[in-house]
Amino acid sequence: MKKIDEYQGKKVLVMGFGISGINAAHLLVKLGANVTANDKATPKNNDIVDDLEADGIKVITGDNPISLANEGFDVVVKNPGIPYDNPLVAAFVKQGTTIITEAELGWQIFDGHLVSVTGSNGKTTTTTLTQLMIAEDAKHQVKYAGNIGISFSKIAEDLGPDDTLVTELSSFQLLGAPTIHPHIAIITNIFSNHLDYHKTRENYINAKLNITRNQTKDDFLVINWDRDEWQKIAQRSQATIVPFSRLNKSHEGSYVEDGMIYWRGQEVMPTKDIRLIGPQNVENALAAIAAAKLSGVTNDAIKKVLTTFSGVRHRLQYVMEYQERLFYNDSKSTDIEATEVALQGFDRPVILLAGGLDRGYTFERLVPYFKKHVKAMIVFGECKDKMKDAGNQAGVPVVESENAITAVPEAWKLSEPGDVILLSPANASWDQFPSFEVRGDKFIEAVEELTGKKEQ
């Protein structure tokens, strides 16, 4: 951990009691700040408040009182999910108060080698693969943190100058990380996500580009080269560009040719040996390989990881096989693009479980994928009627169900040996579940109840 004094004696407000917010509050006390912690909700677990107060932190819960804007805070550390049009946050913006996220705080105290990953889809898998590959060959600590569910600043506290940290960073985190400077940055892809938060696609792209904003030619931006738009986005970086591509050969980076993965013209391994299924996971592997090779990792270490790693929970996660049916949990597919790529990963008939929060869009884009890959659909949630319309356009039998749990026995009734039963909702979970993780866990529990087996 790097010793810094910029928070000594400063008055800091931490907004949000998530994992990162709680750790940030305790860390700021160590850094000499006078800390107030605020959460709009009242925690069900009193231990959270007790622990904060025991560290000398003033705690305010149950509201984001606008009066806090008049208390002279020098810095606000904001939970990434709190939008900037929140009345209290907006008041701080108007005042010109410094507003950061915990990712910025983590960067400020980090004293090692930083690799950072962002993108619309594939962030967690790419982050995990990159960490595993570098760790396989490393003589020092290699950890991961960030949007993957582990506090950046908490892990950064325990790492030294020779250690490596691979961080997954969301657009929300990056908006509040103005000085972050990874030596290797990865952009997996950019679609049109979170426009309810960012308002415009350009705002969303700009937030993503904060990952490379402070990079120089001595740093590297590893970026997907499969779309012209992403190639143009790369031109906005000052870093050395390292492309990865499943579709376009480029000797400057990692690519696929005739079923073989290459790094700068040298063979690495066949794509068929990657344990993860689907074209999106080939792309994730290519991104991780580029970052790993830039970090000096051997091909043997890369092969070991890619031939054994079976997936991140909720991201096209293999659950089990039962009576010749394969169950997959892809609850993290909260947008259309993610479900598109999930369906392309299977050469067996798919019973698709889909639906969730209605964000106002329809699903005609999925119709060709339904026609090609889907045998039947079980739909649920606020947008089930729109999802059903797309299924009907594709000529696919559609059954309505209450949610992702009740859909499991319905899918079983429609399945036959050789089928895949896939939860890939194409929508957020918040109409029925607090998170995609909870939705995926409940799906797995329903599969276990149906089969009498535990996930594999």
Residue 431 in contact with residue 441, Cβ under 8 Å?
Answer: no
Q: pLDDT per residue over 200-237, tens digit each?
A: 999 999 999 999 999 999 999 999 999 999 999 999 99
Burial category of 272 from C-beta neighbours within 10 Å (exposed 0-12, middle 13-18, buried 19 and up):
exposed
Binding residues for ATP, by number, are 119-125
Q: How confident is the model at residue 278 (pLDDT cuts 50, 70, 90)?
A: confident
| Direct distance between the N- and C-terminal alpha carbons of the chain, in angstroms, rounded to an integer | 38
| Parts of the chain belonging to CATH 3.40.50.720 | 11-100
Q: How far apart are CA 153 and CA 345, in angstroms?
A: 36
Architecture of domain 11-100: 3-Layer(aba) Sandwich (3.40)
Whole-number Cα distances in Å, 144 to 244, 291, 309: 22, 14, 16
Q: What is the pLDDT of residue 87?
A: 97
For residue range 368-422, list pLDDT tens digits in order: 999 999 999 999 999 999 999 999 999 999 999 999 999 999 999 999 999 999 9
Distance CA 73, CA 54 (A): 21
- Residue 422 phi/psi, 5-degree rounding, is -120, 120
The CATH architecture to which 317-450 belongs is Alpha-Beta Complex (3.90)
Contact assessment for residue 221 and residue 212, using Cβ atoms and an 8 Å cutoff: yes
pLDDT, average across residues 324-344: 93
Asked if residues 26 and 75 have their Cβ atoms less than 8 Å apart, the reply is no
Residues of the chain with CATH 3.90.190.20: 317-450
Does residue 431 carry a pLDDT above 80?
Answer: yes
As annotated, the binding site includes 119-125
Residue of 221, 210, 419, 224 lying closest to 337 (CA atoms): 224
Is the pLDDT at 119 greater than 90? The verdict is yes
For residue range 155-165, list pLDDT tens digits in order: 999 999 999 99
DSSP, residue by residue, 113-124:
EEEEEE-SSSHH
Domain(s) labelled CATH 3.40.1190.10 in the chain stretch across 103-308
Mean pLDDT to the nearest integer, 25-44: 95
At the second CATH level, the architecture of 103-308 is 3-Layer(aba) Sandwich (3.40)
With CA atoms as reference, report the closest residue to 26 among 79, 64, 43, 17: 17
